[in-house]
Structure 1
Amino acid sequence: MASSPDPLEPVRGFMKSRILLTAAELDVFTALHDGPLSAEQLAEKTGTDLRALSRLLDCLVTFGHLAKEDGAYRLTEEGAVFSARHPESVLPMVLHMNHVWDNWHHLTRTVQEGTNAQRKAPTASGPESLKAFIGAMHVVGRNLAREIARSLDLSPYRSLLDIGGGSGTYTIAFLEENPSMRAVLFDLPDVIPMAQERLAQARLLDRVTLVAGDFYNDELPSGCDLALLSAIIHQNSREENRTLFQKIQRALQPEGGLLIRDHIMDSDRTWPAAGALFAINMLANTAGGDTYTFEEVAEDLKWAGFRHVQWIRKGARMDSLVLATS
């Protein structure tokens, strides 16, 4: 007879997570990028206590992120992507999760009071934290952006307005799949140089106009026939989204489209499961952010003057798509 699941297993899950976050914060994986090192060598390289680091490394072996042979540790394929030098590195997102960990620490009080008065924005520590956050968003979005771009027929549209477009992850994917399309990428002044660098690497800079601004305080660039809000609405309250939708309505050409990519919840707010969990993440990390049902999103879009609101892709990840017409 099969044994019953251990009810404490999910409770202990934070232990593994904390070990991986600490190893990433200490940059253990990057330190091993060029080849195996002993615990002594790693302790010297990372500036850590030998005994404590050894226990951390041995746990990483049991997780499958490191291998241990003749007293030396080396990266496995699973651990290699945590190195900053891996071409598909996930390290920026892991370091972002380290920040998220700090805000989740106050979750009990947040649920009691309704808001996290102790939260710190991921970009609050200056330019380096902003760069890390934008890098994290690229890590989590790069493969999905390509998948979504390939799944959509955007042939009716000629110009994309990517609002809060970060370093251009979705702009790049959409332009690569639609050779006749041009784009305007709108984001904060400190983000625009990151977008310029990534667009130049993708050899798409000549098809993109970069505009600096703050969509909470500024009007949006006008003249495009398709606007994109990719992973934006969850960080806002419904009131903030309504204001933003109105700005987009004013900026778009007549009959233009607004494409929203985000968690879109079913009416009882329990599907997708990842969206229910992400709602807690927004509770811990934002003033009024949330994940929204299709009915809520449609109501707010129609309030702002949009028509023909459609849930065109129902995704279990943050890959649902809503399309509306201005």
Structure 2
Amino acid sequence: GTLLDVGGGSGVFLAAALKRYGGMRGMLLDLPDVMPAAEERLGREGLTGRVALHGGSFREGAVPEGADAISLIRVLYDHDDDTVRALLAKVHDALPEGGRLVISEPMSGGRRPERAGDVYFAFYTMAMGTGRVRSAERIGEMCREAGFGNIRAPKARRPFITSVLTCAKPD
């Protein structure tokens, strides 16, 4: 169907997904200042006709509706818990019943720390002055609080770089 990439920047992830799945359509939400870079990249990739661009902030407005799946790629760890909770609630509201959420970002090892990744991204968020690295378990709890179910965190090949968590809005 349609994938909405929230905080999708210049469209790198969305372009890769659209190339991989030729019948899929895409939507991208990011700040208005980012839209020219997204237009340029997606145009260069020949994907303009398959993508709707939405300039805006997920902090200030609703997440656009119309997607079967929403991706949050390297978004949550840049924000505090209150912002993440609000974003997950907006994503839940925007999805249809059965709609999927895909989260991919650096995640801490939780009860079993991943030394290199946990330390690096703890320093990263400290230097940025915002956000925090959370474990897949913690992100799953936050997704559950927002109303999602069927939460899965497949084992990552290189968890010190990125991990994935998926969930769905119940039918």
Whose relative contact order is higher, 1 or 2, with alpha carbons under 8 Å and at least 6 apart? 2
Residue 318 of structure 1 and its aligned partner are, at CA, apart by: 2.8
SS in 2 for 1:309: strand
Match of 2:145 in 1: 303
Structure 1 SS opposite 2:28 = strand
1:238 pairs with one of 81, 90, 113:
81
Residues 257 and 324 of structure 1 are in contact (CA less than 8 Å); yes or no, is this contact kept in structure 2? yes
Cα distance, 1:277 vs structure 2: 1.1
Identity over aligned pairs, percent:
32
Partner of 2:32: 189
8 A contact 2:108–2:117 mirrored in 1: no
> Counterparts of 1:187 and 1:264 in 2: how far apart (Å)?
22
Q: Unaligned regions of 5+ residues in structure 1, if any?
A: 1-157
TM-score of the superposed pair, with normalisation by structure 1: 0.50
Q: RMSD of aligned C-alpha atoms?
A: 1.3
Structure 2 residue 80 is the aligned partner of structure 1 residue 252: no
Between structure 1 and structure 2, the one with the greater Rg is 1
The answer to whether the Cα contact below 8 Å between 1:234 and 1:292 also exists between their aligned partners in 2 is yes
1:241 is displaced (CA, Å) by: 0.7
**Matched letter for residue 186 of structure 1:** L
Is the 1:230–1:261 Cα contact (8 Å) retained in structure 2?
Answer: yes
Q: Is the 8 Å Cα contact of residues 265 and 294 (structure 1) preserved in structure 2?
A: yes
Structure 1: how far apart are the matches of 2:115 and 2:145?
A: 25
Residue 272 of structure 1: how far off its partner (Å): 5.4
Q: For structure 2, which runs of at least 5 residues remain unmatched after alignment?
A: none
TM superposition shift of 1:269: 6.0
Which of residues 117, 120, 123 is equivalent to 1:280?
123
1:258-277 deviations in Å (ceiling 9; x for gaps): 00011122223621522331
Change (3 A) 1:214 1:312: same
Alignment of 1:1-326 (within 5 A): 158-268=1-111, 270-271=113-114, 273-287=116-130, 289-314=131-156, 315-326=158-169
What is the rounded CA distance, in whole Å, between the counterparts of 1:191 and 1:318 in structure 2? Answer: 24
Which whole-Å CA distance do the structure 1 matches of 2:13 and 2:147 have between them? 25
The alpha-carbon deviation at position 246 of structure 1 amounts to 0.2
Q: Which has the higher helix share?
A: 1
Asked whether the 8 Å contact 1:313–1:322 carries over to 2, the reply is: no
- What's the offset of the Cα at 1:317? 3.5
Distance apart, 1:200 and its partner CA: 0.5
* Distance in 2 between residues matched to 1:188 and 1:292, nearest whole Å: 24
Whole-angstrom distance in 1 between the partners of 2:43 and 2:161:
27
In structure 2, distance between residues paired with 1:169 and 1:292: 24
CA distance in 1, matches of 2:82, 2:115: 23
Aligned to 1:264, what secondary structure does the other structure show? coil
TM-score, structure 2 as length reference: 0.93
For 1:300 and 1:323, the matched residues in 2 are separated by: 12
- Conservation of the 8 A alpha-carbon contact between 2:110 and 2:134: no
Write the distance in 1 (CA, Å) between the matches of 2:24 and 2:79. Answer: 29
For residue 54 of structure 1, what is the aligned residue in structure 2? none
Runs ≥4 in structure 1, deviation > 3 angstroms? Answer: none
